[in-house]
Amino acid sequence: MTDEVLPGGSAEVRPDIIFKDLAVLDGERPALNTIEGVDGVVRAFGERLVAYRRKYLETGKAEASEAFVGAEAKAMADIFYGRNPDYATTPWNSPTEMGYGFGDRVGISGEPEEVMEAFWVKLAGDMIDLMVKHEGGMDDEQVRFALDVMIEEAVYALLGLPLSAD
């Protein structure tokens, strides 16, 4: 990654600063029953958003944001509801287990399928908002801190663990 400003933006998008490598903890598959595994999957989601944002800044063109985020949210719901064999899951990873109560936990009402997808859409929006703030001059340390808090809250919610404010 270079230190140059991307075309169309006032600052660069630097995933090397704000994302860690995906944690692979179950042989070759990320494990969705550990903080490290879920953290890695959430950060990989963020990396895809950074790539999407970078494409937009470099070319001024990208697929429709709503369609991109919707497809990503659906894919993440499938992962966390145990429908993607590339991830190691437990019985918790299902709409009948994790799904009930998840909406209350994250402040989103609806059926389990809708809640999980809405959670990822909201997280995507929050991450993109943070990228825009970074492009506008928010310093790297503030971005790292804000993103780490955002990701930690998501990870704990996805694992059903108590948040620090709970």
CA distance 126 to 73: 13
Residue 125, pLDDT > 90, answer yes
Indicate the average pLDDT of the chain: 82
Band (48; pLDDT cuts 50, 70, 90): very high
The structure's pTM equals 0.80
> Is residue 74 scored above 70 in pLDDT?
yes
Residues 158-163: contacts with CB under 8 Å, at least 24 apart: 158/32, 158/38, 158/42, 158/80, 158/98, 159/33, 159/35, 159/38, 160/92, 160/98, 160/101, 160/105, 161/35
Is 80 exceeded by the pLDDT of residue 20?
A: no
Q: Which residue has the higher pLDDT, 57 or 69?
A: 69
pLDDT for position 4:
40
| pLDDT interval class at 67 (50, 70, 90) | confident
Asked if pLDDT for residue 8 goes beyond 80, the answer is no
Residue 63 is predicted with a pLDDT of 65
What are the residue ranges spanned by the domains of the chain? 25-159
- Confidence band of 65 (pLDDT split at 50, 70, 90): confident
